[in-house]
Structure 1
Amino acid sequence: MTAVGDVAPAPTRRRPRPGALIAFGAAGAWLAFVAAHRLLSGRAWWWNLPDLLPPLLFLAVPLALAALVPLARPARAVCAALLATALAVGWPVAGVNPAALWHRPAPAPPGAVTVFAWNTWYWDQLLETGPGGEPIHDPDRLYRFLHAQAADVYLLHEFLYFTPEWDPVPVADVDRLRREFPGFHVAVAGELLTISRFPITLERPLDVRPWLDHEWPDLPPAGSLMPAYHTVKTLRTDLLVDGRVVSFYNSHLHVPVVGLPARSPDTADDGLARHDLRQANYRALAADVADNPHPIVFAGDLNTSPAMRLLRTLPDRLVDATAALDSLYPTSWARYGLPLWRLDWLFTSGDVDVHEYRMVPPGGLSDHSGQLAVVSP
């Protein structure tokens, strides 16, 4: 009982526990980062460093932070809600393929087309090295690998060599390529090589320059022996498949580079330039697809992980074939012997069925797996 005239002591305010602050801070910070990534990826060139994060982090981080939820009492429900929201927002960019649990493609009909898309890693330049570390060309291993795929259509990238100064130069022995694939038809644009058992009715390299937001004076660099290497990253070939024209797009997009805009623009290491080039590639493809009445198969090394928004700027007409893969977490790019994440993709128009789709280990010939697919228009 408080005596008359006495003043009741003010209730003491409980300070948040350090554990609760850590839990709330971590959950809130991760949710803010995921929201910023979904907003800025593919839109702001200076977001190129977060764009390179492993996609699986968008699943792993909120699950790991869930261990801190018990520390957040008495508001554990709020902390859990923050993490659940971060998981929901990040799930579409985590690279997970849940369709692998239930999707079973229809069997291939007679006359289905086998397609093999692959980044060859500078053709046969880096397959072996001599005593001093110099590259020794060994095309035999490369051609054995290509023939083992038994494809009707090959969509190959990095059909080139590099000088010690990293200037691209054409592959010299093109005659052997034609000898290795007798009766096949060949189309080349820059580093892109399409080999087809079916006749080629149209070759169309997609030049990115009309779709750029900025002008880059060294695109292509003066004196380049392969100017199309710098300006063409997608080659369309229309093939006559059993009396019907089908368009195959062979694509190898620019690598995103972490770097500030150079005062003297240099597309080799300028972050803004690379961002511009990558966007221009997608725009050029979208414009061509919009005017293309034929069934479409689009495959290649897009240098775009599931976490990058640019992947979702492809035309709605193109359908992602990922569901046909049997992996819950498909990967196509490896470093130091470890499979990391996916950079290689296959899309088709809705009037093309995908009956088989799998990644083919490169056997040490490249840092990218090949994409083998069986399709029918």
Structure 2
Amino acid sequence: MPVLSAVWLVFTAAHRLLSGRVYWWNLPDLLPPLAFLGVPLLLAVLGLAARRWFGVALAVGALALGWSCNGVYASALWHRPGPVPADAIRVYSWNTFYWEQSPGAPPDADAFYAHLHAQRADVYLLQEFLYLEPDWSPLPVPDNGRLRTEFPGWHVAISGELVTVSRYPITTHREVDLRPFLERPWPDLPPADTLMPAYYTVKTLRTDLQVGGRALSVYNAHLPVPVVTLPLRDPDTARDALARYDVRQASFRALAVDVAGNDQPILLAGDLNTSPAMGDRRRLPPGLDDANDGLYPYSWQRFGLPLWRLDWAFGKGIEVHRCELVSPQGGSDHRGQLITLTL
């Protein structure tokens, strides 16, 4: 038992050191966050049963070292949010799972828009505003007229797969281009044959909203997954992993630079494809507060199973009163984030 506890402690230490710093650690990055809670607890219980005190100590050390990776927020046990002011702003952030064309299900635009309207949001931050070709290449949504029809008089900003819909005026919008922040040149970014070049080069869309007499900067983000069975562009798996790592790190850098030069109140929300176990979180811009108020806020689910958090919301210069996770009603594999805030 002490040997197993020692192995897990060494692994946890290596994970804390390497995650988010080297691309070849991307597979351990996919470990479920709850493993950093469940494994050391199991080892500690087994050690107690066997009276192997040294093994118990090692397991407890691994539990403490990996606590920030397990996705559990113990503060939710004693934190109770206060009342929501009447003038609070409702923001709904959601990975739509390829708009209403969810793979494996027939398109159902009526149900899709009914879900959006049911959130009664003032601002919508939507990701995966795209369709897919048979080889999983992105395609623009053939007709976005339905979106504007469903939200008459609202303000819309679109960049690649990212769309922000606001009942407040959008004074400016900016694509946060990741290419200037890449560590290595990738001539195929974007691919010459793509119909959605911004899908590859813009993973964050910033919109500045006029809310009453004040400004609010909203960042709508969707980062690529760190590893996937289908290559980003290159058939070589190792090279694909390196490309994804570069794109993810460049996305974080681009976002951090933009936020650093922004003195307005900020909301950053979206699918970061980053679990609580991943060291990439240290790349987030400093000064942003996590809006979560749940004990174990999982946003990703597959096969009917609750998994872990991939979608995040952060604020600066705002007060978040609620951050609720909303069931997609079968329309996506991500739960939406309904964020209630005031400036």
TM-score range, shorter chain: over 0.9
Q: 1:88 to 1:268 in 2, by over 3 A?
A: closer
Alignment correspondent of 1:20:
none
TM-score, normalised relative to structure 2: 0.95
How many angstroms does 1:70 deviate by?
Answer: 4.5
In structure 1, distance between residues paired with 2:236 and 2:174: 27
What do residues 16-44 of structure 1 show as CA deviations (whole Å, max 9, x unaligned)?
xxxxxxx1110100000000000000001
Write the letter of the residue equivalent to 1:98.
Answer: A
- 1:316-350 C-alpha deviation (Å, 9 max, x unpaired): 2111112x23xx2111101111011110001000x
Count residues in correspondence: 343
Which of the numbers 93, 97, 104 marks the counterpart of 2:73?
97
Aligned to 1:185: 155
1:202 to 143, 154, 172: 172
Residue 372 of structure 1 pairs with residue 342 of structure 2: no
Say if 2:326 is the partner of 1:356: no
Distance change (3 Å), C-alpha of 1:268 and 1:120: farther
Partner of 1:329: 296
Residue 68 (structure 1) aligns with: 46
- Residues 55-204 of structure 1: matches in 2 within 5 Å? 55-70=33-48, 76-126=52-102, 129=105, 136-204=106-174
| SS of aligned partner of 2:281 | helix
TM value normalised by structure 1: 0.87
Of 34, 47, 58, which aligns to 2:12?
A: 34
For residues 289 and 4 of structure 2, the distance between their equivalents in structure 1, rounded to whole angstroms, comes to: 37
CA RMSD of aligned residues (A): 2.1
Match of 1:18 in 2: none
Aligned letter for 1:306? P
Tell me, what secondary structure is at the counterpart of 1:282? helix
CA 1:355/1:71 → structure 2, altered by over 3 Å: closer, same or farther?
Answer: closer
Q: Is the 8 A contact 2:175 2:206 kept in 1?
A: yes
After superposition, the C-alpha distances for 1:235-287 in whole angstroms (9 at most, x for unaligned) are: 0000000110100000000111158x999687997000101111111111100
Return closer, same or farther for 1:97/1:318 CA change in 2, 3 Å cut-off: same
Code of the residue aligned with 2:272 in structure 1: it is: L
Query: Are 2:191 and 1:216 aligned?
Result: no
Structure 2, unmatched stretches of 5+, are none
AA of the residue aligned to 1:347 = F
Provide, for residues 151-205 of structure 1, a one-character-per-residue CA deviation record: whole Å limited to 9, x for no partner.
0000000000011122211112211111100111000000000000000011011
Query: In the alignment, is the contact (CA less than 8 A) between 2:140 and 2:195 conserved in 1?
Result: yes
SS where residue 217 of structure 1 aligns?
coil
- Which residue pairs with 1:5 in the alignment? none
Among the aligned pairs, what percent are the same residue? 60
Q: Is the 8 A contact 2:2 2:56 kept in 1?
A: no
User: For residues 65 and 293 of structure 1, what CA distance do their matches in structure 2 show?
Assistant: 48
**Counterpart AA for 2:188:** D
Change (3 A) 1:118 1:267: farther
Q: Which residue of 1 aligns with 2:224?
A: 254
Deviation of residue 314 (structure 1)? Answer: 1.1
Does the residue aligned with 2:306 lie in a helix, a strand or coil?
strand
Query: Match for 2:132: what amino acid?
Result: F
- Counterpart-to-counterpart distance in 2, 1:127 and 1:216: 29
Work out the CA distance in 2 between the residues paired with 1:268 and 1:69.
39
Q: Verify the 8 A CA contact 2:24 2:241 in the aligned structure 1.
A: yes
1:127–1:34 distance in 2 versus 1, CA, 3 Å: closer
Q: For the residues of structure 1 that align with 2:308 and 2:277, how far apart are their CA atoms? A: 10
**What letter matches 1:372 in structure 2?**
L
Aligned position for 1:17:
none
Separation (CA, whole Å) in 2 of partners of 1:154 and 1:262: 28
Is the 2:301–2:308 Cα contact (8 Å) retained in structure 1? yes
Q: Is 2:221 the partner of 1:239?
A: no
In 2, the alpha carbon distance for the partners of 1:232 and 1:268 equals 23
Structure 1 counterpart of 2:318, one-letter code: V
Q: Residues 127 and 149 from structure 1, CA distance in 2 versus in 1: closer, same or farther, beyond 3 angstroms?
A: farther
Partner Cα separation in structure 2 for residue 269 and residue 142 of structure 1:
37
Gaps of 5+ in 1: 1-22, 130-135
Quote the Cα distance in structure 2 between the aligned partners of 1:178 and 1:123: 14
Amino acid paired to 1:225: L
Shift of the 172–111 alpha-carbon distance from structure 1 to 2, 3 Å rule, reads same
